[in-house]
Structures are given as structure tokens and as C-alpha cells.
Amino acid sequence: MASFEELGVNENLRRAIEELGFENPMPVQEKVIPVLLGGDHDVVGLAQTGTGKTAAFGLPVIQRIDTHRRVPQALILAPTRELCLQIAGDLADYSKYVPDLDVLPVYGGSSIESQIRQLKQGVQIIVATPGRLIDLINRKVVKLDDVHTVVLDEADEMLNMGFVDSINEILGHVPDDRKMLLFSATMPKEVAKIAATFMHEPEEIVIGNRNEGAENVRHIYYMVNARDKYLALKRIVDNSPNIYGIIFCRTRRDTQEIADKLIADGYNAEALHGDLSQAQRDIVMKKFRDRVLPLLVATDVAARGLDVDDLTHVINYGLPDDTAVYTHRSGRTGRAGKTGVSVAIIHSREKGKLREIERIIGKKFERKDVPTPEHIIEKQLYSLADRLEKVEVIEEEIDKYFRGVSRKLSWLSSDDLLKRVLSLEFNRLLEYYKDAPKIDFIDEKPSRKDREKGEKGGKKGKKFDPEADKDRRTAEPGLSRIYGNAVKADGFFAGNRIETLNKNGPGKRVDVGRIDLMPGYALFDVPDADAKRVVSALKGSEFFGKRLYSEIANPDKDYRAENDAPRRSKEAARKSAPRKRRR
């Protein structure tokens, strides 16, 4: 890997970016910087947000500026006010040790008179949104005759927002011999047309593959009935105690409605959409960037330009019609070397759209069951335990109060005290999820034979798929599937299973994965290394008088038939017994 010095970046710029924490060039920087500094041709860069694009074009743009001339020499176009400000701020940071260099952000929603005054004083780099720049050109306060470098950042987003005519008009005002760089996450035909019309033999630089989703993003979907989408959203959020994410909705109305519901249900969330004033949007975005706000409910347009590197989740409250929009959404997580999750909450009619997105981005979505209340409660309690373990204790301050509080609680044992601390969270969750329903949508269609079998058995509408049933007996790589004989009818739910397992099993706590509670038996996943220990722990133990049995599940064994046999025998005996004659 080449260093920034080897790429040709000068000493003043290197000094500034080293202070910002830059160590080695990212792939996009390694490819783009030498071309912009020394090449003769234009560049089309296909890369997701968060890949280091701003430094890739920003460093060579700054280095090519003649600071003795106070005229615009570089023009950077961005789709939104927020992205415009962010790019300008980054360029100011990079040019900290470059004297006499002025960067001006030009955008709507701010005083045009102030921008005109700064332009008259002389600036070398303009970062602009298309609408405001055209206004300034028409007022004859911006002249682009000396511009030698033009950058179109997030070109596909600008076209999605309807700026194609504006871009064409702006590019008509810059010299023909300028160098041009176009950055885009996807390459729709409109972007390709701009490249063909305005660029000279452009070199295409691809980070990843065309239209591909970000490499560090895991794609998950939950299929539920449309009426259960909001319930599923809450469970997904509850199952991720440290979530920091954006929930994308299709319309402004949906965005505000979902945000209002979350706030009413006690979640720290706010809406971001076009009906908010610029001042309101700025406040919401600042709170989100500062992580005061962990959940942002937003439309695609409103979230453009919101650049945050450490999002854990992007949640699609329904899929967008355009795959490029999904690519932009999912590309907001898994950035700067971190991993992220892109979640889609869909109903059955959106399954075709999901498959089309999979085909275009070259990624497979994992289908997951909506988290159960038992799993959520366990996850939240372990999160609380983790926070207790890591909390910073300020000894000098806490000592003032410790003796009095300790005296008041001295009658409690350490176990009692810990149970009470955990119950502060546990009791709330238990009440919240009491009698909560299972909300997954089962979309597998049974064969005619299975439907007839279900109807003869008197269970109209019961869906049974032998292959799906067999899949339940097959664990994911690294996990073992365990069979257990206790079921819901015995009062034995997922939480009881986890508690019994860890109560009777020696050694460290076992992480339990997927749990399938069937009418006559249960199957659940544990790590391969713990499988034998789990079977030994459960086999022979008791749950309120019922003797438990457990074994490593055999994929070829028909547990359904085996567990249904005793019930069928009882039913047959009942039917064959002589009936009392009525008098």
C-alpha cells in the first residue's frame, strides 16, 4: 500500500490529515489522487458513501489551487445543503496549513447577500448546491471562467432530485479544458449520459462492484403482515440495546406518524422530513450526529447529506421502488471499516422487489424471525449487566453517599441486591411484553396433498411443509440443533428453557440461538462446543414434575410423527370406546 507521500500529496496537506488521524490511504484515495494530480483525463468514480471520497478529490483539488489568484478555480457540486457544508468543512480541515486559501459553501436556505459579499472578496474553491449556484450565476456575481477542476459528488442523488437541467446549465459555464470528476454510488443511464456529454475519455474507477452494496453490511429481512410492521419495528429496536440508526420511510406522513408512535411508546426518536423548517432540521441532525438521539425516522430526501460513520443499523420500513435508493440507504452503515446491518421489514407482496434488489446489489438477504419477547428480555438484561460492569465509578464523589446508602441496604445479600437491580429493567420489560403475540408472517404455501391432510385432520388453514420442518432440524454452521421434549403445553417457554439450561449446566453460560417451539417438542441452537454439555444438563432434569429429555437433533428423524403418535393413540382410543346410550 502506497503512502500519501508516495501518492504525491504535499507536506502541508499531509501534516493536516495526520492530525485528523489519517494513517494510510483508503482504496478510493489510492486510485483517485494520482489521477487528479498527474493524469490528463477525467474520472468516473463508482463508490459508496463512507469510503473516503471527500479526501480522494479534496486533497488534489486543494493542491492544484494557485493561492495567489483570488478567483474560483475549483467547483464542487453536491445535492444537499448538508453535504455541501460537510465537504466545505472537510476541505477547510485539510487546508489548515495552506495559507491564503478560501473555501466557500454556497447553498439555499442561507443569506444570499452574505455569500455575495464573500464571493466579491475572492475565493478559490466553491462548494455549491445547483439551485443557489445558478441564482448567483444569473446575478453575475459568480464567474467560472478560471475553473480548472469540477467535481460532481453523489451525482446519482442529484439526478434523483431533478437537478439534471441545472447541472447541464452549470457545466455550460465552465471551460472545455477543465478536469472533471464524477462520483456516484450507482451508474444509472442519466449519469452515464452526463459522463458521455461533458467528460473527456473518462477513466472509470470502481471501488467494489457496480451498484454493489457496501461490503461490511449484513442484509436482513423480516416478513410480517402489513398490520404488524410497527410491532416488528419496535421488537427489532428492542433487540438491539445499543442501536444507533436511521429508520427510512417512503412518505413524509409515514415518517412523522412512525416517529410520533415511537416517542409515545417511550423511544428516543425524532422525524426528519421536508415539512420541517431548515432550523428544525438542523437541530434534529445535530442531536443525531452527537448521538443524543439514537433513532432518526427519515425520508430519503431529508436524510441526504447526513454523513455519520458509526451507524449500527439502517431499517427500511418498506422497500424503495428504486434499487439505487436501497443502495444509498444501506451504504450509510458499515462504513469506515465498521460493520453494519441493513434491515428490511416487508410484507408478502414485497418479496419480488426484495429478490430484484438481491440480484442487482449481488447480496443475499437473510430471513430472520421477529425477536421473541423472551429473547428481547434476555438481550436487554445482558446489556444492563454489561453497562454495570463497565460503568465508571468516581470514587471521591460516590464515597460521600456510599456509607449512608450501604447502611440502608445492608440487610440485602449480594444476590438479593443484584436481583433488585436487574428487576428495575426486568419488571418493565415483563409487563410490556406480557401476552405479546408471535407476529411472523408464514408465507410458505402447502401442497394440495398437505392441505387435504390438514383438512382431514380437522385443522383448517394449518400450513405444513415437510422440507421446512426438516430445515428446522438443521442448524447454521458452527451451531448444533438440540431436541427437547418439554413444550408450551407444559408451561415451558423459551425463557424457561434458557433458565433451566444454565441452572443445571456446569461451566460458563451457554448462548442459545434460534428456538422453535412445536406442538409436541422443541428445537433450539447452541454452539457446537456446548452441545454435549447442554444435552447432559437437560437430560434427566425436571420441570414442575415433568422429566426432561434432550438429544442432538437428527436431521433424518421424524420428530413430528414420533411426538404425534401418543396423541393419536389417545384420540383413537377415545373414538373407539363404546358410547353411553342416551335414555
Tens of pLDDT, residue by residue over 428-454, are 888 877 777 777 665 544 445 444 544
Q: What are 464's three cell numbers? A: 405444513
Beta carbons of 389 and 422 less than 8 angstroms apart = no
Q: What is the pLDDT of residue 349?
A: 79
3-class secondary-structure state, position 105: strand
CA distances from 354 to 186, 211, 372, 414 (A): 18, 15, 24, 51
Q: To which H or E segment does residue 121 belong?
A: helix 112-121
Q: How many residues does the chain have?
A: 583
Beta bridge partners of 546: 543
Mean pLDDT, the chain cut into blocks of 10 residues (583 residues total): 85 90 84 81 74 86 92 91 86 91 88 90 92 92 91 81 83 88 76 79 70 68 88 92 91 91 91 85 88 91 73 90 81 74 88 87 86 84 81 85 87 87 82 75 51 47 46 68 76 64 68 74 83 80 74 77 55 53 46
Q: Which domains does the chain have, with CATH numbers?
A: 4-206 (3.40.50.300), 212-244+310-442 (3.40.50), 474-571 (3.30.70.330)
Tell me which amino acid residue 203 is: E
Beta strands in 433-476 (DSSP E): none
φ and ψ at residue 65, rounded to 5 degrees? -80, 135
Rounded to an integer, what distance in angstroms lies between the CA atom of residue 239 and that of residue 380? 7
Q: What is the pLDDT of residue 578?
A: 54
Q: What's the pLDDT at 457? A: 46
> Helices 189-198 and 164-171: crossing angle, nearest 10°?
10
* pTM for this entry: 0.55
pLDDT (0 to 100) of residue 44: 85
User: What's the confidence (pLDDT) of residue 374?
Assistant: 84
Kind plus residue range of the DSSP H or E element containing 515:
strand 515-517
pLDDT of residue 389: 80
pLDDT at 212: 47
